[in-house]
Amino acid sequence: MAATFAYPVRVYYQDTDTGGVVYHGSYFNFMERARYEWLRDLGFTVDNMLQSHKMIFLIRSLSIEYFKPAHLDDLLDITVGVMEIGRSRITLQQQILREQKVLAEATVHAVCVGAETLRPISVPAALRQQIAESKNQHE
């Protein structure tokens, strides 16, 4: 896996069920926020991708495994790592950790599409370059 980006998330009441355990769907929201911040860290905001590159990412598939529950008020780290980049897709591995212990792990397949056509297009060269530079900095 390439260099890993980590985004801290605090578990709030709205993320949990009545027992104070994080609701399974909340993990998807945590991972989405981490992917958004990962792109921002690389210099690509969603608005910038839309305006400058006329593209967006759509999630083609997401596979998740839950190992241990997170609870109300936990401080979690949500990671994003690039596993593979194809012409129009990026495969990411994401983990949700509490104190460096993996609570959940997901594989995410995102497809780069034209903003107007929603058809696959090439991942922008500038984004590929930023991902490669990020990987080199962390090796």
Active site residues: 17
How many CA atoms within 13 Å lie on the side-chain side of 68? 13
| Class of residue 32 by CB neighbours under 10 A (exposed 0-12, middle 13-18, buried 19+) | middle
Closest alpha carbon to 24 in 106, 138, 100 = 106
